[in-house]
């Protein structure tokens, strides 16, 4: 089942912060975050595993609340290069099926 992302879109000025949320109605094994620039392929940002282990990006952080089946992506001091569509993907078990939400369009203006 597709995870739900919010907000659908957000506009920032350079240097501002943003939070993107992802929630699922099913128990989660892991949450994955990707960013897609217009006309390009999605690119991996981060994985959050059940049990708290986190792997990924230097300048972007995230949290994973296993009990609430929710994850949040935190972008602080945003840069122009952060613009794009952010997707969360979820795995509900130890299989490899990765299902993505509909995405959050982030626009960072000067």
Partner 1 sequence: DARVTQTPRDKVTEMGQEVTMRCQPILGHNTVFWYRQTMMQGLELLAYFRNRAPLDDSGMPKDRFSAEMPDATLATLKIQPSEPRDSAVYFCASGQREGDGELFFGEGSRLTVL
Please give the residue ranges that form the binding site for partner 1 (CB under 8 A): 2, 29-30, 32, 34, 40-44, 47, 49, 87, 89, 91, 95-103
**CB of 29 or CB of 107, closer to partner 1:** 29
Q: Is 25:69 a contact under the CB 8 Å cutoff? A: yes
CA proximity to 46, closest of 23, 75, 7: 75
CB of 30 to partner 1, least distance (A): 5
Q: Is 7:75 a contact under the CB 8 Å cutoff? A: no
**CB of 17 or CB of 53, closer to partner 1:** 53
CB of 47 to partner 1, least distance (A): 6
**CB of 41 or CB of 52, closer to partner 1:** 41
Helix (H) or strand (E) holding 98: none
**CB of 61 or CB of 100, closer to partner 1:** 100
CA proximity to 108, closest of 86, 89, 88: 86
């Amino acid at each position: 089942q597709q995870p739900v992302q919010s907000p659908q879109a957000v506009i920032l000025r350079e240097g501002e912060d943003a939070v993107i949320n992802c929630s699922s109605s099913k128990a989660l094994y892991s949450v994955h975050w990707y960013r897609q620039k217009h006309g390009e392929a999605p690119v991996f940002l981060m994985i959050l595993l059940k049990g708290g282990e986190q792997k990924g990006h230097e300048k972007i952080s995230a949290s994973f609340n296993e009990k609430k089946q929710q994850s949040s992506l935190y972008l602080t001091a945003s840069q122009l290069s952060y613009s794009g569509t952010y997707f969360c993907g979820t795995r509900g078990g130890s299989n490899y099926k990765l299902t993505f939400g509909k995405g959050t369009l982030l626009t960072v203006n000067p």
